[in-house]
Structure formats: C-alpha cells, structure tokens
Amino acid sequence: MSDPSQRTPGPAAAVKKARLRRRHAAERRFRAYAIGAVAFAAGLLALLVASIGVRAYSGFRQSYLTLPIVIDREIVDPEGTNDPAVLADANYISLVKQALRARFPEITARSEQSALYSIVSVGAADSVKEYVLAHPQDIGRTVSLRLETADSVDALVKGLTDRTLPADDRGISDLEVAWVDDLVASGELRVGFSRTLFTSGDSREPERAGILAALTGSAMTLVVTFLLSFPLGVAAAVYLEEFAPRNRWTALVEVNINNLAAVPSVIFGLLGLAILLNFFGLPRSSPLAGGIVLALMTLPTLIIAARAAIAAVPPSIREAALAVGASDVQVVLHHVVPLALPGILTGSIIGMARALGETAPLLMIGMVAFIVDVPHGFTEAATVLPVQIFIWADSPERGFVARTAAATAVLLFFLVMMNATAVVLRRRFERRW
C-alpha cells in the first residue's frame, strides 16, 4: 500500500484550507480595522488635548511689571488714622501713575503719558490697594510691587502679537512696544505663573480674571447634587431591585427611569426654571437651585448603575443571610448594599463628573451671572466652571482666549481625576463571584 503522507490532497481538503486562509485573513483585517479605529480616536483626542494645552500654557502665565510704588500718606491717609474705610477710598491709580512717570522721566507730553499709563492693567490700582490694606504699616514708604500688565502688553511679551503688523492691527503702538522692550531688557517686566487665575473671581479685564468663584460655585453645586441624588438613587435602586413587585407599574417606572437617562440636559434646566424658580421661588443663580437641577439629571443614571451593582451580588449571599435568621431588610442593609457599594460609588462618581461638565441646564436657571466675589452660601449668586468657560469664550478680548483654554484644562483635569477615581475604586474593591 502507498504511504498516506504521500497522497495528494483532494479537492475537499483544498477547499477547507482556502476557507481557513480567508477566515484568518478576515480576522486580521478586522483586528487591523479595530486597531486603526482606536488609533484614529486616540489621535483625535491627543490633537484636542494638545491644542488646548498649547493655548492653556499661555493662560497659566501672566506678565508682571515690578515698580517701586511710593505710598504717599497725603494721598492714601492724610489724617493718619489708618482707618480701613479711608484707605479703601484712596486714589491708588495716582500712585501707579507717579511710579510710571518716575520710571520714564523723559516722557512729558500728555498724550505719551496717557499711552504710558496703559501699559499696566486697569486693575493695577486694586493690587496696590490690596497691599496697603494688608500692610498699613508701609504707608509713607516705597515698596516694590508686581502689577499685572495690560492685555495688549501681555500678548506682546508672550509672543502672541505679530510685530510686523501695523500698529492699528496689533493693538499696541510702536512707542509702547519700545517701552515694553526697554522694561523687558531691564528685567522689570517678566512673565510668571498667573496666581490671579486661581485666586480671584471674574473680571472685565482678562489679566485680572480668575476661576476661584467658579470653582467654589462648582464645588457647592456638586455638594447639593450628591446629597440629594446619592441617598435617593440608592434607595430607589434597592427598592426596585429587592422589594418592588414585578408588575406593569414597576415595569412602567423602570421604562421611565431608562428614558429619563436619555433626556437632553436642557430639559431639566427648563424644569428647574418652571418649578424651582417660578413656583417654589428658590434664589436664582444659586448653588442650591443648580444642585437640585443636576441631582434630577443624574438621578436616573445613578439608579441604573446602583441597580446593576446590586443585581451583581450573588443570590447565595441573600440565601445564606436568610438561612441564619436575618430579615429581608437586614439582608439588604448588612450584606447586599455593602457588597454592591463599590459599584454604586463608581456610578455616583461618574454621574458627578457628568454633572460637573454640564452647562445647558444651569444656563436656564440663570447661573450665567457675572460673579466677581466668591460665594459663601448655597443661596448666594454663583456660577460654575463650564459656564465661566462659556462666558469667556464669548468675550471679544484676546486675552480671554488663553484664559478660556486654561479654565478648560482645569475642568478636564478634574473630570479625568474623577473618572480615574471611579476606575481605581472599581478595581480596588471589585469582587468577582
């Protein structure tokens, strides 16, 4: 007999091999498509982050002019009382102008002096006032203070202004450019980290605008959102998953919860405007009203996540607890909820992250106000970081472009941190049954 290994493969074997090659080729193509899709999405994300980061880098930095300011007692406190009310009403802009004239004594023409004064920010006088109120013992002395420069000067020093453009197009005259170059060469004008961005509220001048009030408003709004949505969401999930009877009414409630999770967020804003503000009379543009609206928005998502976490607990846990004499409530509170808590917390954090990035529902209840002072109560007027970004993005001043990117970077940082916390909690406390 002939050796079987020497036989020529038949038509059926050749067909099988061809089909196997085509299947393997299809699998390789599918894998390549999947990798390509992921790489494409990652590339777009990297491009977005890079574009925001480049602009945000300028927003995190600010140019400062260091000037020796003579705190003249005749201007600040002629009576010598050191009364804060008197100090607050002093003419501090004249002190700044005197320092600029002393730095450039050769400038005597009124028009040139007016252009010289525009080098520093309009809020430079406020910086001097804040220093004097904090250090009244320095009245009558000469102190060296760092003052924010104007938006046009800041852009020029950072290299954002094209010097080859005509003076009318670049927003700063040739004479001002010469003064700025002189100050930069002497080291009196430098670019440093913008502390104002994190220590002040909103302002009409971009060099004086900060996100502290918006961050505080976001934190207070999220506190209200969490305190309302977490206990209600967990209680609703426990009832629907453990105690509710399986009938048409329960099915209707579940369908409505799933539908509410897909409702556009602006609808919740309209609900808050009609019910919370117009009917109940809650303070407009307050963290209390904003937190309630965001709680209503995140409640369906939290209920769905909590139900999934509770359903993932094995029935054997419930049966074992019942077997040793535990009641239904004890089974849920002592065994099911603690074991499902990591998943519940993960869903809660993701819901809070979504609430942190929302803008539309808060615009409907008036949280688009111009907020300079940091809110200290849940019923005071406030704004949130996404709304602050929206306001700055609509501002015509060039300096707000960098401020908008910087605020966006801060918002993305908090969103990434919240989602990363959810991932860490899930991996740290997740149990596989």
Residue 224 · residue 382 · CB < 8 Å? no
Do both 226 and 317 map to the same domain?
yes
Supply the angle between the helices 212-238 and 385-393 in degrees, to the nearest 10. Answer: 130
Please check whether residues 400 and 257 belong to one and the same domain.
yes
**Separation in Å, CA 125 to CA 105, 122, 128, 129, 151:** 21, 7, 5, 6, 16
Write the pLDDT tens digit of every residue in 88-147: 888 999 999 999 999 999 998 988 999 999 999 988 998 999 999 999 999 989 999 999
pLDDT at 429: 74
Residues 218 and 364 in one domain: yes
Residue 354 has pLDDT above 50, yes or no: yes
Final residue in a domain of this structure, among 134, 165, 193: 193
Q: Evaluate whether residue 3 is within a structural domain.
A: no
204 assigned to some structural domain: no
Per residue in 58-69, pLDDT (tens digit) is 889 999 999 999
> 51 lies in which domain range?
25-59
* Domain identity same for 412 and 288: yes
Task: For residues 49 and 94, state if they share a domain.
Answer: no
Average pLDDT over residues 62-84: 90
Neighbours of 77 (CB within 10 A): 19
* Average pLDDT of the chain to the nearest whole number: 89
Full-model pTM = 0.84
| Residue 15: inside a domain | no
Judge if 242 and 389 occupy the same domain.
Answer: yes
Average pLDDT over residues 233-260: 90
Are residues 145 and 44 located together in one domain of the fold? no
In a domain, 309, yes or no: yes
| Model pLDDT, residue 80 | 82
Residue that finishes a domain, picked among 129, 159, 193: 193
160 and 224 fall within a common domain: no
Tell me whether residue 268 is in a domain: yes
Q: What is the pLDDT of residues 169-205, one digit of tens each?
A: 788 888 999 999 999 999 999 999 998 899 888 888 8
Confidence at residue 432, expressed as pLDDT on a 0 to 100 scale: 67
Q: Classify 384 as helix, strand or coil.
A: coil
Q: How confident is the model at residue 2 (pLDDT cuts 50, 70, 90)?
A: low
Confidence of residue 8 (pLDDT cuts 50, 70, 90): low
Q: Determine, yes or no, domain membership for 98.
A: yes
- Express as a percent the part of the chain with pLDDT over 70: 97
For 299, list phi and psi in degrees, rounded to 5: -60, -45
pLDDT above 90 covers a percentage of the chain that reads 44
pLDDT of residue 3: 55
Of the three residues 147, 164, 193, the one that is the final residue of a domain is: 193
Residue 340 to residue 187: CA distance in whole angstroms: 60
- 5 has pLDDT over 80: no
Mean pLDDT computed over 428-433: 70
161-165, 230-234, 379-383: least confidently modelled range: 161-165
Q: What would the mean pLDDT of 271-282 be, rounded to a whole number?
A: 90
Assign 431 to helix, strand or coil. Answer: coil
Query: Of the spans 37-41, 247-251, 401-405, which averages the highest pLDDT?
Result: 37-41
Q: What CATH code is carried by the domain that includes residue 308?
A: 1.10.3720.10
| Three-state DSSP class for residue 79 | coil
- The number of folded domains in the chain is 3
Q: What pLDDT is stored for residue 260 in this prediction?
A: 87
147 and 125, same domain (yes or no): yes
Max Cα-Cα span within the chain: 127
Are 254 and 367 in a shared domain?
yes
Report the C-alpha gap between 272 and 376 in whole angstroms.
22
Q: Is residue 1, in this structure, part of any structural domain at all?
A: no
Q: Express each pLDDT in 38-54 by its tens digit.
A: 999 999 989 988 988 88
Q: Decide which of 388 and 15 is more confident.
A: 388
Query: Is the residue at 199 inside a domain?
Result: no
**147 and 270 in a common domain:** no
Burial pattern 131-164, b for ≥16 Cβ within 10 A else e, equals: bbeeeeeebeeeeebbbbbbbbbbbbbbeebeee
- For residues 189 and 301, membership in a common domain is answered with no
